[in-house]
């Protein structure tokens, strides 16, 4: 899986979770994950999560570290497993730094406040995953925590690269592991 940290800020509005967005904008073809920092504002009209639409829960973060991944030849159930693997990778990286993080499904919490948003969906030819981690929790519509505002994490770009590398290596290792066994 290819990885790329986008150096410029991008406001995540939901429409970026679309087929070939990574390829068209960053010329990365195939399975990939990219990370970027920017404001996050997903209005109900751009929501993929129907439950959030029904509950009238738009997403907002003044500053968020976003990961978008597109993965091909994968069904939606496997895509949700891969989304959860990304969430567990983030949790593991934060716990390695000494933070007590809790997980409920695809959500991470610090001090009982929501740290992440995440969704996996299926396009015509791929699975798309967006996971965002609050950097600054100010103005969030729910009780939220942030990497800088509450956790005091200083190097967001280093953290983003670490997450992408860990996740990419894990996916690649899973695929490789599936090639070394004898069928029975």
pLDDT digits (tens, 9 = 90+) for 103-133: 999 999 999 999 999 999 999 999 999 999 9
Q: What's the pLDDT score for residue 150?
A: 95
165 falls within a domain = yes
Tell me how many domains the chain contains.
1
In a domain, 59, yes or no: yes
In a domain, 156, yes or no: yes
Q: Is the pLDDT of residue 58 over 90?
A: no
End-to-end CA, the chain: 29
CATH number of the domain within which 100 lies: 3.30.930.10
- Reported as a pLDDT band with limits 50, 70 and 90, residue 95 is very high
Asked if 62 contacts 136 with a C-beta cutoff of 8 angstroms, the reply is: yes
Identify whether 117 is part of a domain.
yes
The domain of 128 spans 2-177
182 is a domain residue: no
Average pLDDT over residues 51-63: 90
pLDDT per residue as tens digits for the range 22-50: 999 999 999 999 999 999 999 988 989 89
Confirm whether 183 is domain-assigned: no
In a domain, 168, yes or no: yes
Task: Render 64-125 in DSSP notation, one character per residue.
Answer: EEEEEEEEES--HHHHHHHHHHHHHHHHHHHHHTT--EEEETTEEEETTEE-EEEEEEE-SS
Look up residue 158 and give its two tokens: 């280093």
């Amino acid at each position: 899986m290819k990885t790329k940290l986008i150096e410029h800020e991008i406001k995540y509005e939901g429409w970026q979770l679309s087929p070939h967005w990574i390829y068209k904008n960053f010329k990365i073809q195939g399975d990939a994950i990219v990370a970027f920092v920017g404001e996050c504002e997903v209005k109900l009209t751009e929501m993929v999560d129907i439950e959030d639409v029904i509950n009238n829960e738009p997403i907002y973060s003044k500053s968020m570290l976003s990961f978008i991944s597109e993965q091909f030849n994968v069904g939606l159930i496997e895509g949700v497993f891969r989304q959860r693997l990304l969430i567990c990778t983030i949790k593991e990286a934060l716990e390695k730094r000494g933070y007590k993080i809790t997980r409920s499904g695809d959500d991470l919490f610090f001090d009982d406040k929501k740290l992440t948003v995440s969704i996996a969906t299926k396009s015509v030819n791929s699975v798309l995953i967006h996971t965002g981690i609050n950097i600054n929790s100010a103005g969030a519509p729910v009780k939220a925590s942030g990497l800088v505002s509450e956790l005091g994490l200083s190097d967001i770009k280093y953290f983003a690269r670490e997450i992408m590398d860990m996740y990419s290596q894990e996916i690649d290792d899973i695929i490789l592991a599936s090639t070394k066994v004898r069928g029975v």
